[in-house]
Amino acid sequence: MFIARLQSLATNQTTAVPVVKAAIQGYRTSESSARDLILTIWNVLDHNLEHTASIVNAFVDLLDQEEKKQDLLASWKGFAIEVRPILLCTEEAHSNCFHFSSNVGNSPISSQQLRAPDGQRSHQVES
């Protein structure tokens, strides 16, 4: 079921499965980190957060080691928080976006994402 889901979500099914299988093997043997696995899935699924979440969660269900499950879930939560603002800055709003540096790269973020609930700016970001 995991492989079928991956195939259904990937645009290039021919390479997606072997690439993700190799990343899974690297994670299981501690040759690579949870973030490496997540980034591989993220790239294979064309930066689709919903699809990546589906595959990561399906893989967590397959893991036997509780420590690996918790590691992957913690890394996933951090990754999702990190990329969500990037995805919210649309092309038409690009002129109103600020740029910031992160582990994912220089990506735009909308000014709305930088506002605290009371409407005050919560972060000072240079454009």
97 and 74: one domain?
no
- Kind plus residue range of the DSSP H or E element containing 73: helix 66-88
Question: What pLDDT is stored for residue 68 in this prediction?
Answer: 97
DSSP 44: H
123 and 78: one domain?
no
Answer whether residue 126 shows pLDDT above 80. Answer: no
Write the pLDDT tens digit of every residue in 4-33.
999 999 999 899 999 999 999 999 999 999
Question: What pLDDT is stored for residue 99 in this prediction?
Answer: 43
Question: What pLDDT is stored for residue 127 in this prediction?
Answer: 30
Rounded to an integer, the average pLDDT of 43-58 is 95
Write the pLDDT tens digit of every residue in 68-122.
999 999 999 999 988 876 665 644 454 445 444 344 443 333 333 333 333 333 3
Domain count for the chain, please give it. Answer: 2
Structural domain containing residue 108: 89-127
Cα separation, 13 vs 44, in Å, equals 9
Phi, psi of 59 (to 5 degrees): -70, -40
66 and 109: one domain?
no
Structure tokens at 93: 């709003």
Partnered with residue 80 across adjacent β-strands are none
